[in-house]
Structure 1
Amino acid sequence: MKINLFENILNKQFDFNKIVEEFQVINTLKQIPQNPKYHGEGNVYIHTKYVCNELLNLKEWSELSNEQKVILYLGALFHDIGKIICTKIEDGEIKSSKHAVKGAKLFRELVYKEYVQKYIIDFKTREQIAALIRYHGLPLLFMEKDDLEYNLIKTSECLDMNLLYLLSKADLLGRECGDKEELLNKIQYFKEYSIEIGCLYLKKEFRNDYTRFKYFNSKNIWYGDEVFDSTTFEVIVMVGLPLAGKDTYIKENLNYMNVVSLDDIREEFNVSPMDNSSKIVMIAKDRAKEYLRLKQPFIWNATNIISDTRKKLCNLFSSYGARVKFIYIEAPYNELISRNKIRDRSIPLKVLNNMIHKFDMIENFEGYKIEYCIMENEK
């Protein structure tokens, strides 16, 4: 029987040494050095332990619900695992560029393929923790961004900004550096500015869905504006790994809509999924443009696991006046493996695992609307 993750962490009373026994990847951090200029305390494992302990000392800790405590603690426990794959020595200095982005992906991959075999971890919990890992450096860096308000409001779509503030604060307190006081002031300013624009405790409210979409996708309007919704039809973009169930979802819920399917076009032209797909995408876009010119709703059915691909599709379809809705489909890893065994054209396991490794989880600000259809693991 699987262990309830929340109960397990609570029963261990947030004891770092006991919790680490459950997640052996954290012990790997003992081998990962850090730049002493910014981390005088030592390797990533030492830093992670300090950060988790600092969380418990924050005055705000007692104000959190048990659920928030577990999510925040696990966010702290895994916040620097990206350094395992990112840490390099460049120009004589230890650097870990993009460790937050890659760390979020690594955490998601570990949960999806491994931890769900032992623990009850639902999709929402996984993604809240992954988002904390992904954005944990923002409170220290947001003042360097070109558009402060935009970056804060966009991030608030993905996570609880108050938990992000607390993680960043503990992250700083858990390291030894010469400019700690100055950096603490930056983190405090992050909190105050988020409160000022109304996104620390809740997502920012917009006048309507179209204003929200335009704000995140064009960046040329103020969040308080009200933009007239000029869209006249809907385009649905499916997102999900192969074998996740996108075709089944369409048959059961959207069989009244036209479909542009990359897999169908491959079969039509007898092109293997392993071959270069540029020609297939070109044909698919030509067919999509026929529907777009006629303002006819349709479904774009492909994996769309890379965020840049989704952005380009969204820009194309919305330029014709379409409301772009993303539907994300997810099935458990074991289910994908089972389905692959009985599929006529099976996918090599190495290819499937590589797609999981590269996958950019869709974020709430990407489209006009996002719908999630998650097949949870059995308890």
Structure 2
Amino acid sequence: MWNWKNMQTLAPPPGAEVDFAACLDAFPQLELAKTTPQDPIYHAEGDVWKHTKMVLRALLEDEHYAQLDPHDRETVFFAALLHDVAKCSTTVIADDGRISQPGHSRKGAVDARIALWEAGAPVLQREAICRLISVHQVPFFAFADSRRGQSPEFIVRELSWLADLHLLTMLARADILGRVCPDVGQVLVNIELVREMAGEEDCLRKPRAFASAETAVRYFRGAQLHPDYALHEAPGSEVIVMCGLPASGKNTWVERECKGWPVVSFDDARSELGLKHGENDGAAAHRAIDKARSLLRTRERFVWNATHLSRQMRGKSVDLCLDYGATVRLVHLEATRGELLARNRARDTTLTNAALLGMLHRWEAPTPTEAHALSLLVNSDREGK
């Protein structure tokens, strides 16, 4: 059984080679890459595993790789190893025979998160790896025809809040060099332009500075403003939005850290309505949202306690708070697999452990661009929490 300490040995030091057999043993899902086809125009080298091996070799040949400290070397290596891990489950073959894997970056980040969580990887390093995977192709197109209709400046600034752009551009270079396709030269130019702009914006190895957290939040939601000029902040509620799987310790954390704060909870609303887990979620959500609106109107501080597993679900809660001028801090809690299942068995709940584990495939940990502040916390029984 592979754990994080064992996995760290997979990231080769400068001058060494990749142990591909060990990589497959540590991450069994990669075995499916051997039989996952790719579009022959952009991946004439063949299947996903051939491409992955070529990417890893290109990464190790990058002059910057030897200059990285062990932590960063591990981070970019595992991002490269797992960057296409979800192509096996997202492959679509059209009627004309063209092959695509829509959404494989986002799904790959989720798959990598589950595997690294089960191995016990440190949460901050794990999320650095997963964010690299989620945006690994964005530098290809930032200075081409932006697929999102956003300026290169916006894309680079946002990327800097999601990933170390030095590591991201290394990963992107390895990704394009590790394939056989007609546009390698142009993509390499685009990647270098991202790197140059990151240098100009002073965000190659750190998030782009903003005049205030409010300015950053509104900018990343599309407000037309400049990062260096603070946006006027209207007074509003102070809101803590909880995130995390059931049984991760959210209730305990709220009771300890936010004594006396009003709490908005879908679970509480469900209980008040006499509903079981998964039963008439719409009614429970409506009741909770009405309570949140009431607190926001009076500018009271409160905690919004829910799983908020996906960015889409968090976004609904956060957007509502921002509409009322609130300041929002996301607090993401998690525990080990064993602790999570043991706690859930001991709880008075209709949620089974099987159903809880099924929720892992919707687990998108929050990112710094989503709110004014973010805390990623491990609520471990071993830490006495």
Q: CA deviation at 1:9?
A: 2.6
User: Bigger shift: 200-209 or 16-25?
Assistant: 16-25
Structure 2 equivalent of residue 368 of structure 1: 372
Asked if structure 1 preserves the Cα contact closer than 8 Å seen for 2:295 and 2:301, the reply is: yes
* Residue 341, structure 1, aligned to residue 342, structure 2: no
Asked if structure 2 preserves the Cα contact closer than 8 Å seen for 1:304 and 1:310, the reply is: yes
Q: CA deviation at 1:378?
A: 6.4
Asked if structure 2 preserves the Cα contact closer than 8 Å seen for 1:16 and 1:49, the reply is: no
Structure 2 equivalent of residue 134 of structure 1: 134
Structure 1 equivalent of residue 267 of structure 2: 263
Separation (CA, whole Å) in 2 of partners of 1:5 and 1:151: 36
Q: Report the 3-state secondary structure (helix = DSSP H, G, I; strand = E; otherwise coil) of the residue aligned with 2:37.
A: coil
Separation (CA, whole Å) in 2 of partners of 1:275 and 1:131: 33
Q: CA deviation at 1:99?
A: 0.7
Unaligned runs of 5+ in 2: none
Separation (CA, whole Å) in 2 of partners of 1:358 and 1:10: 28
Structure 2 equivalent of residue 177 of structure 1: 181
Asked if structure 2 preserves the Cα contact closer than 8 Å seen for 1:6 and 1:67, the reply is: no
Structure 2 equivalent of residue 34 of structure 1: 38
* Residue 103, structure 1, aligned to residue 108, structure 2: yes
* Residue 200, structure 1, aligned to residue 204, structure 2: yes
Q: CA deviation at 1:10?
A: 5.1
Separation (CA, whole Å) in 1 of partners of 2:293 and 2:350: 31
Q: Which amino acid aligns with 2:200?
A: E
377 and 168 in structure 1: CA distance in 2 versus 1, 3 angstrom threshold: farther
Asked if structure 1 preserves the Cα contact closer than 8 Å seen for 2:51 and 2:178, the reply is: yes
Q: CA deviation at 1:376?
A: 5.4
Q: Report the 3-state secondary structure (helix = DSSP H, G, I; strand = E; otherwise coil) of the residue aligned with 1:130.
A: helix
Q: For each residue in 1:295-323, what CA deviation from the matched residue of structure 2 results, as whole angstroms up to 9, or x when unmatched? A: 11111111111212222222211222211
Q: Report the 3-state secondary structure (helix = DSSP H, G, I; strand = E; otherwise coil) of the residue aligned with 1:192.
A: helix
Q: Which amino acid aligns with 1:135?
A: V
Asked if structure 2 preserves the Cα contact closer than 8 Å seen for 1:16 and 1:52, the reply is: no
Separation (CA, whole Å) in 1 of partners of 2:116 and 2:8: 17
Q: TM-score of the superposition, structure 1-length normalised? A: 0.93
Q: TM-score of the superposition, structure 2-length normalised? A: 0.92
Structure 1 equivalent of residue 19 of structure 2: 16
Structure 1 equivalent of residue 318 of structure 2: 314
Q: Report the 3-state secondary structure (helix = DSSP H, G, I; strand = E; otherwise coil) of the residue aligned with 1:186.
A: helix
Separation (CA, whole Å) in 1 of partners of 2:380 and 2:251: 18
Q: CA deviation at 1:338?
A: 0.4
Unaligned runs of 5+ in 1: none
Structure 2 equivalent of residue 228 of structure 1: 232
Asked if structure 1 preserves the Cα contact closer than 8 Å seen for 2:276 and 2:350, the reply is: no
Q: Which amino acid aligns with 1:15?
A: V
Q: Report the 3-state secondary structure (helix = DSSP H, G, I; strand = E; otherwise coil) of the residue aligned with 2:344.
A: helix
Q: Aligned residues: percent identity?
A: 30
Q: CA deviation at 1:5?
A: 4.3
3 and 77 in structure 1: CA distance in 2 versus 1, 3 angstrom threshold: closer
288 and 17 in structure 1: CA distance in 2 versus 1, 3 angstrom threshold: closer
Separation (CA, whole Å) in 1 of partners of 2:262 and 2:255: 11
Separation (CA, whole Å) in 2 of partners of 1:184 and 1:270: 58
Q: For each residue in 1:45-104, what CA deviation from the matched residue of structure 2 results, as whole angstroms up to 9, or x when unmatched? A: 111111101111112222211211111111111111110101121131111111111111
Structure 1 equivalent of residue 5 of structure 2: 4
376 and 87 in structure 1: CA distance in 2 versus 1, 3 angstrom threshold: farther
Query: Which of 49, 61, 65 in structure 2 is aligned with 1:61?
Result: 65
Q: CA deviation at 1:368?
A: 1.2
Asked if structure 1 preserves the Cα contact closer than 8 Å seen for 2:79 and 2:171, the reply is: yes
Q: Which amino acid aligns with 1:195?
A: G
Number of residue pairs matched? 374
Q: Which amino acid aligns with 1:107?
A: A
Q: CA deviation at 1:19?
A: 3.5
Q: Report the 3-state secondary structure (helix = DSSP H, G, I; strand = E; otherwise coil) of the residue aligned with 1:222.
A: coil
Separation (CA, whole Å) in 1 of partners of 2:208 and 2:228: 10
Q: Which amino acid aligns with 1:277?
A: D
Q: Which amino acid aligns with 1:340?
A: N
Asked if structure 1 preserves the Cα contact closer than 8 Å seen for 2:264 and 2:302, the reply is: yes
Separation (CA, whole Å) in 1 of partners of 2:381 and 2:64: 33
Separation (CA, whole Å) in 2 of partners of 1:179 and 1:341: 53
* Residue 295, structure 1, aligned to residue 299, structure 2: yes
Asked if structure 1 preserves the Cα contact closer than 8 Å seen for 2:246 and 2:344, the reply is: no
Structure 2 equivalent of residue 238 of structure 1: 242
Q: Report the 3-state secondary structure (helix = DSSP H, G, I; strand = E; otherwise coil) of the residue aligned with 2:221.
A: helix
Q: Which amino acid aligns with 1:99?
A: H
Q: Which amino acid aligns with 1:229?
A: E
Separation (CA, whole Å) in 2 of partners of 1:367 and 1:11: 36
Separation (CA, whole Å) in 2 of partners of 1:364 and 1:229: 19
11 and 211 in structure 1: CA distance in 2 versus 1, 3 angstrom threshold: closer
Q: For each residue in 1:112-161, what CA deviation from the matched residue of structure 2 results, as whole angstroms up to 9, or x when unmatched? A: 23x33xxxx21112111111111110110223322222222112112111
User: Bigger shift: 292-301 or 243-252?
Assistant: 292-301
